[in-house]
Amino acid sequence: MSGLIPTELHRYSIGDISRGLMAARKSGERQPAISLPGLGDGIPIRSARAAVIVALKALGMPPGSRVGVPLYCCPVVFKAIKAAGCVPRFLDIDPETFCLSSEDLRAKRSGIDALIAVHMFGNLCDMPKILEIIEGKPVLEDCAQSLGSKLDGRACGSFGDIGFFSFRSGKYLSAGEGGALFSENKDLRERISELTAALPVPTRAQEMKHLIETYIRSKLRSRPLWGLVGSRIWAIYNHKTEFADKSPLVLGRIFASDLATVRRRLPRLDSMIVSQRAHAEYFERNLKLDLRMLYREGPRAHYNRFMYPIIFPSTEQRDRMAAYLRRRGVGTSRPYEEVITGADEHYGYEGDCPSAEHTLRRTLVIPSYYTLKPKDIKHIVRSVNQGYSSSDEARGTLP
């Protein structure tokens, strides 16, 4: 199915390889800062997962520290917490935002020493309320999916002690890999700078390998190869790879090629967000679904609308819709559902996040990224509406 629309944007061209090679040849020990929107200079690093480790070390968290983190989260965050010598303590979410539940945080506050507030799908946690509840304990903001999102006019990453960002393929900038850390606290910023400066610098051979892998991966996850072979390869990888072995952690400096790509694409971020927000608004106006299945932007928020999730009444309905949409040439994803069992087996999850579990089992993400054409967006809407409004849907089956 060569026309299958991927759920994520993986964007990397021969031109990106050429410019990456030039950047790698010119790279030195000192890497320039990344100008983060609404914040200022961010400190570049190999990846957001590496940023979690550096941030916890910069905060001076002692071994065994309990770090609160939402269960509804990319599981690599749990792995990074453990790699930093800390222990994840799982928190529930508000299903209306997919973000941290302030009520659950209040109930579990005494059992955590620090907090990672994950801004899921570009939505933002209610940071003022969270900071009030946490009462001075260290707070990290996971802005991996929320670059450019704002709450009360303030950019994400400006509320907590440290914010960290991701630029990897599949995110807004789709730069291959790469991340950044930000802190307004001068002492923390100096410690972050010292820790990142001590990390290994990628070799030329590693840069070359990374460029080639990024290009191949991006092609396999884009049309037409995604529908022809890429989705099958990805499914096999997910099936055969153990939960704890996915997304390996590598501490290091950012690839020079990724840094160059990030700096080149960041000036266009605002226009990317405008387009993606327009797609989300079109979905809200035209999807003929129960309003409780859609999430909406709050009055204080301005989200980048990184992904567009739909919550179905049941897991079975969600899975039938996913199969139906694939037959219609629309790719979907069911992000992070494996964390329910993976967090139990590897990170001590005790089953005390019912809203997160319920939402994980019923959420389907449809494509919404800014490079989609109007005809793609209209096709996605028609397909979802046709699947949902079919006469069989009321009986729990899709055509």
For residue 61 the two structure tokens come to 């968290």
**Single-letter residue type at 284:** E
State which H helix or E strand residue 31 sits in: none
Would you state the CATH architecture of domain 14-197?
3-Layer(aba) Sandwich (3.40)
What is the pLDDT at residue 248? 86
Cβ–Cβ < 8 Å for 144, 117: no
CA 340 to chain centre: 18
pLDDT tens, residue by residue, 235-269: 999 888 888 788 889 999 999 999 999 999 999 99
DSSP string across 240-264: HS-GGGSS-----PPPHHHHHHHHH
What is the pLDDT at residue 394? 43
| Closest residue by Cα to residue 364 from 273, 274, 299, 289 | 289
What is the pLDDT at residue 31? 84
Cα separation, 247 vs 49, in Å, equals 9
Cis peptide bond upstream of 6, omega within 30: no
Pairing mode of beta strands 66-70, 87-91: parallel
In the chain, which stretches have pLDDT less than 50?
391, 393-399
With b for 16 or more beta-carbon neighbours within 10 A and e for fewer, the 132-164 pattern comes to: ebbeeebbbbbbbbbbbbbbeeebbbbbbbbbb
Q: For CA atoms 111, 113, 119, 125, give the dihedral sign.
A: positive
Q: In the structure, how many helices (H) and strands (E) does the chain have? A: 15, 15
| Closest residue by Cα to residue 33 from 24, 23, 45, 44 | 44
State which H helix or E strand residue 372 sits in: none
